[in-house]
Structure 1
Amino acid sequence: MIASDNRSGDDARFYVDGRWEERSHAARIAVVNPFSEEIVGHVAAGSSADVDLAVAAARRAFETFSRSTVDERLALLGRVLALLEERAELFAQAIVTEMGAPIGFARSAHVPFAIAHVRTQMEVLRHYKFLSIEDGFAISKEPIGVCALITPWNWPLYQITAKVAPAIAAGCTVVLKPSELSPYSAQLFAQVMHDAGAPAGVFNLVGGTGEVVGAALAAHPDVDMISITGSTRAGVLVAQAAAATVKRVVQELGGKSPNLFLDDADFEQGVAKGVLAGMRNAGQSCSAPTRMLVPESRLAEVEALALAAVSGITLGDPRNEKTSMGPIANAAQYARVQAMIASGIEDGARLVCGGPGRPDGLGRGYFARPTVFSDVTPAMRVASEEIFGPVLVVMPYRDEAQAIAIANDTVYGLGASVQSGDRNRARRVAARLRAGQVHINYPAWNGHAPFGGYKRSGNGREYGVHGFEEYLETKAVVGY
């Protein structure tokens, strides 16, 4: 099968040291289309030996690539950018197949936002000062080394470029382990890196499970840094495995983000936007604003507005351009969403819409009913645990102080939103929220704004210059 045209099917290859390597004797991992629930192909399950080969290639390449010039790295990233734009539709189709994103959303969000990460890192690289002179010493920023990058299934291409682009911009070399549940976009990306002329060993791809490949990368003594996007549980395991070699660990993990409506917010527009923000990508976003905090006096109004917003969602075949919500990406996550909806009912949350089971008219596929709970209290599981599905909880509050307390009453701290007609008031509230990125009144996505978590949502930052600097070491040269 030709890698540049691979959207599904069997592909037992890894990309190591500048070439595709066949692993025909490796164990196979089935890839399931979440719409049809059918196996559409298999990929190879990597081993610790595969990791050793990829890391060795990256280590050899680092000696030269770490000394490459800014112009050389800009040229490489520019070629990557051009190829991603040229092959955008291939990536969109792959994402539909492997994780069920609607084709319209894949074309309008998954792929263009992924491409934007490359463009953003080129902008950062053009202006970054790698050497600065202080009073009696110099500060040199240098590439950290071999970077292991572990990416998730929910935004497969987006998370790849969010990690690979800054690593390459910094002069690091890479071993990528994509999710085995959504591997096709990663294989297409590896072909882009090859066709863009990445020097051998600068970019490597080894597929497989977190338990084997992820663990081997985290513990590997020749890996200088590991960056993982995934569940908090996975992030903890990676950090524990990495501790023995004292490598840098950057984690972008779970979230339970509040969307705090102050009493002067535009409820008519804001509630609908909040529902759609919480449920976009079928709710499978770590920063999704899935806790809607509203004044108790406005609860009935919010429920009606939320119900109206959900009624406008079109579920169905993700290949149909009219579909706005596809299936949950895999069977395990579908079961998790169903269990959490059941727990909300058991804990006494009031269903505004949705509930357990598939939506009417959809007899196959991992489809969950877009669900809104109201009268939710912080003690309920649906208020405290990450669901990762199209489930929104509406939580009433008495006053601003209680609203802020509820917003911060979580082990997570990835994202938060504030809605208010008074921007200064919104800024004041935003300053009190314990989250790595706060949105005021639904701003446009910005690839330069740093993204990452407080508390159990992770360590370190991605995007823009802050994400770029995660891939750099700081050297002080005294007497420079």
Structure 2
Amino acid sequence: MTTPTPPSGRGNGMHHRHIYLDGAWTAATSRCVIDVIEPATEKVIGSAPGGAPEDVDLAVRAARRAFPGWADTPAKERAAYLRQVADGIERRAPELAELIAREVGTPIGFARIAQVGLAALAFRTAADVGETYTYEQNQAQSLLIREPFGVVGAITPWNYPLYQVAAKAAYALVAGNTVVLKPSELAPLSVFALAEVIDEAGLPAGVFNLVSGTGPVAGQALAAHPDVDFVSFTGSTEVGRTITRAAAGTVKRVSLELGGKSPTVLLPDADVDEVVPRAVAAAFLNNGQTCCALTRLVVPRNRKEEVERAAAKAAEATRVGHPLLPGTQLGPLVSAGQRDRVRRHVQRALGQGATLVTGGAEPPGDQPYGYYVRPTVLSDVTTAMDVQHEEVFGPVLVIECYDDEDDDQAVALANATPYGLAAAVWSADRERALAVARRIRAGQVEVNGGGFNPRAPFGGYKQSGNGREHGVFGLEEFLEVKSLQL
């Protein structure tokens, strides 16, 4: 494997010893080191500093100093920096994809396309949106101005380590904010490589800063810091509440992209053979470790057995294996804790009355080590079961039934969740699918397999969070509104 070559003195291979602040690789004040475990082998493959509150404070101070100059930099120039970052990501794409496959367990093919490809695309899209956006406009006797907040604290998850950084940092930067980033301690290696790319792009000192560490220490310090103007967090709903409480002391703006329990609604006239394999693939996306994974399949009761057969066939055909093998479709989960949590969810569901269609809580027999979970389908799931409304974050699809030809009940069942991040609707009648999609309380709804749009806003209803990422909405998230009365 090819590993990144670190700047002199920063580390040894993937064992990082420095954080990035004020335009330089700097020794952390804390001597704490966090090991990175490869989920396919259960071995240590790297490490990163466990940043302390003092490190966060230094990074925030650097970002504050850099803010006035960066905010005054024309949007076209800020966008040019972002395009250089995108170029750097693409130059190092094979290495970055392999890093993510190793630290997250993402199958290498998906890592190339989604984990790395979408990150580069997000930087480019942010550059395009930020460069062409109208930051000032006249309205009656007022001049309306959109201007940056100041210092943005970005706290990102392990499941999409580069893409989630891009969703926050790219748009915050092009809007004129400076950034302090705290990545997940479970998967920081690719983010350190991204920081190298950003350093090579030559952004002014202090505009982008990286402090690795744990959520309770570095993340908490960043969210609570009085000189951070905006906190953007992606992760679990539980941690989102903690971030919000930490930020409340200074009444700073908080944007949250949290959990999901998203439904695929199969209407009675939909083609089971077309829909179900796609529904299984959508549930197992990134080993099921995707906040917007469509993990609930809502179907007419009279088609349940047909759906179960199709789902079992698709799940059992899913190739489980080492994430670096080209044919792998499902790799290991990110950690032993996550693997055990998913297995407990399956056991509890069966104990509460769910029917096992395929898979189960037992370890896969052909994987002697690694944090693997069997691709699992459960049926006869009801709203009384925990697995129906709790985020599992693993390769587990549940089948729920509504009364035949009753679109109202299908919608009610789809909405029977505390979350509202994503959904999908399938019907032979496009207008019927659209009518149902309009009634689902979720931030994004795919209609008959509608394709990905990198400029479309991404975010959730209810306990899936607030705010939006990507496109014009993603840019405006990082802009304050001022009116000058003329």
Q: Alpha-carbon deviation of 1:127?
A: 2.0
Q: Alpha-carbon deviation of 1:120?
A: 1.2
Q: State the SS of the aligned residue for 1:66.
A: helix
Please tell me whether the aligned partners of residues 11 and 17 of structure 2 are also in contact (alpha carbons under 8 angstroms): no
Tell me if 1:46 matches 2:54.
no
> Equivalent of 1:447, from 454, 464, 486?
454
> Equivalent of 2:20, from 3, 15, 22?
15
Cα distance in structure 1, aligned partners of 2:31 and 2:13: 18
Instruction: Specify whether residues 454 and 25 from structure 1 end up closer, same or farther in structure 2 by C-alpha distance, changes over 3 A only.
Output: closer
Q: Alpha-carbon deviation of 1:253?
A: 0.2
Cα distance in structure 2, aligned partners of 1:267 and 1:8: 49
> Equivalent of 2:168, from 149, 163, 166?
163
Cα distance in structure 2, aligned partners of 1:262 and 1:136: 51
**Which residue of structure 2 lines up, in the alignment, with residue 254 of structure 1?**
259
Q: Alpha-carbon deviation of 1:24?
A: 7.9
Please show how residues 131-146 of structure 1 align to structure 2 within 5 Å: 131-146=136-151
**Which residue of structure 1 lines up, in the alignment, with residue 5 of structure 2?**
2
Q: State the SS of the aligned residue for 1:133.
A: strand
Please tell me whether the aligned partners of residues 8 and 184 of structure 1 are also in contact (alpha carbons under 8 angstroms): no
Q: Alpha-carbon deviation of 1:271?
A: 0.6
Cα distance in structure 2, aligned partners of 1:15 and 1:362: 38
Q: Alpha-carbon deviation of 1:332?
A: 1.3
**Which residue of structure 1 lines up, in the alignment, with residue 79 of structure 2?**
74
**Which residue of structure 2 lines up, in the alignment, with residue 127 of structure 1?**
132
> Equivalent of 2:342, from 337, 340, 351?
337
Q: State the SS of the aligned residue for 1:445.
A: coil
**Which residue of structure 2 lines up, in the alignment, with residue 387 of structure 1?**
392
Q: Alpha-carbon deviation of 1:81?
A: 1.1
**Which residue of structure 2 lines up, in the alignment, with residue 236 of structure 1?**
241
Please tell me whether the aligned partners of residues 12 and 24 of structure 1 are also in contact (alpha carbons under 8 angstroms): no
The one-letter code of the counterpart of 1:345 is: L
Q: Alpha-carbon deviation of 1:442?
A: 1.5
Tell me if 1:29 matches 2:34.
yes
Q: Alpha-carbon deviation of 1:14?
A: 0.3
Please show how residues 263-302 of structure 1 align to structure 2 within 5 Å: 263-302=268-307
TM-score by length of 2: 0.97
Cα distance in structure 2, aligned partners of 1:416 and 1:77: 31
Quote the sequence identity (%).
48
Cα distance in structure 1, aligned partners of 2:193 and 2:468: 26
Cα distance in structure 1, aligned partners of 2:153 and 2:271: 44
Tell me if 1:473 matches 2:480.
yes
Cα distance in structure 1, aligned partners of 2:372 and 2:200: 37
Question: Structure 2: 5+ residue runs without aligned partners?
Answer: none
**Which residue of structure 1 lines up, in the alignment, with residue 443 of structure 2?**
436
Please tell me whether the aligned partners of residues 6 and 13 of structure 2 are also in contact (alpha carbons under 8 angstroms): no
Q: Alpha-carbon deviation of 1:8?
A: 5.9
Please tell me whether the aligned partners of residues 29 and 54 of structure 2 are also in contact (alpha carbons under 8 angstroms): no
Question: Structure 1: 5+ residue runs without aligned partners?
Answer: none
Cα distance in structure 2, aligned partners of 1:101 and 1:264: 35
The one-letter code of the counterpart of 2:469 is: E
Please tell me whether the aligned partners of residues 80 and 127 of structure 2 are also in contact (alpha carbons under 8 angstroms): no
Please tell me whether the aligned partners of residues 8 and 97 of structure 1 are also in contact (alpha carbons under 8 angstroms): no
Q: State the SS of the aligned residue for 1:259.
A: strand
Q: Alpha-carbon deviation of 1:459?
A: 0.9
Cα distance in structure 1, aligned partners of 2:29 and 2:339: 31
Instruction: Specify whether residues 396 and 8 from structure 1 end up closer, same or farther in structure 2 by C-alpha distance, changes over 3 A only.
Output: farther
TM-score by length of 1: 0.98
Q: Alpha-carbon deviation of 1:6?
A: 8.5
> Equivalent of 1:458, from 454, 457, 465?
465
Q: How many residue pairs are counted as aligned between the two chains?
A: 479
Q: State the SS of the aligned residue for 2:463.
A: helix
Q: Alpha-carbon deviation of 1:290?
A: 0.4
Instruction: Specify whether residues 24 and 227 from structure 1 end up closer, same or farther in structure 2 by C-alpha distance, changes over 3 A only.
Output: closer
Cα distance in structure 2, aligned partners of 1:83 and 1:376: 46
Q: Alpha-carbon deviation of 1:25?
A: 5.3
What whole-Å deviation, never above 9, does each CA across 1:40-96 have from its counterpart, x for those lacking one?
222110000000000000000001001100121121011111111111111101101
Cα distance in structure 1, aligned partners of 2:113 and 2:460: 26
Q: Alpha-carbon deviation of 1:22?
A: 2.0
Cα distance in structure 1, aligned partners of 2:48 and 2:332: 22
Cα distance in structure 2, aligned partners of 1:128 and 1:423: 34
Please tell me whether the aligned partners of residues 8 and 40 of structure 1 are also in contact (alpha carbons under 8 angstroms): no
What whole-Å deviation, never above 9, does each CA across 1:374-413 have from its counterpart, x for those lacking one?
1111111110100000000000110211111111111111
Q: Alpha-carbon deviation of 1:102?
A: 1.2
Q: Alpha-carbon deviation of 1:9?
A: 3.1
